[in-house]
Amino acid sequence: MASNDKTPSIHYARYERMVSERHAWLRVPVEHLDILNLLKRISPFSKKDGKFVWLEKSLDAERFRTAFEWYTGSSLEQTEKPVEHTTVQKMPAYFP
């Protein structure tokens, strides 16, 4: 998909990864899932947060990383944020 004024570019995006002792989540904009054609391929284990989705570490974040790297031709850049506890699990499940 070519980038234009109506389509946000994800080529220079940087994502936040929240990591606790038992869980890890990758925060991505819903529009980036749409660009990568992943809206209907994300499990309900991931959580919806307004215009963002916290992707669970084992399946959805890895699926996103693979699609992102294929689409952009570059590695996924993320800022890791270690936390003692996370409230992500209490957010509503993601459903397209």
pLDDT at 42: 95
Task: Report whether pLDDT(22) > 90.
Answer: no
Token output for 96: 């397209």
**Sheet-wide strand order for 52-56:** 47-49, 52-56, 24-29, 14-19, 77-82
Q: What is the mean pLDDT of residues 3-12?
A: 61
Burial class (CB within 10 angstroms; exposed 0-12, middle 13-18, buried 19+) of 56 = buried
**Strands 52-56 vs 24-29: parallel, antiparallel or unpaired:** antiparallel
Q: How confident is the model at residue 4 (pLDDT cuts 50, 70, 90)?
A: very low
Instruction: Report pLDDT digits (tens) over 26-67.
Output: 999 999 999 999 999 999 999 999 999 999 988 999 999 999
Q: Give the domain extent around 49.
A: 14-90
The number of CA neighbours under 13 Å toward the Cβ of 72 is 20
Give the pLDDT confidence score for residue 50 in this predicted structure: 93
Indicate whether 52 belongs to any domain.
yes
Q: Give the model confidence (pLDDT) of 75-93 as tens digits.
A: 999 999 888 877 888 888 9
> What's the number of domains the chain is made of?
1
State the Cα–Cα distance between residues 38 and 94, nearest whole angstrom: 12
Structural domain contains residue 30? yes
Q: Provide the pLDDT confidence category of residue 8 given band limits of 50, 70 and 90.
A: low
The answer to the question of residue 50 being in a domain is yes
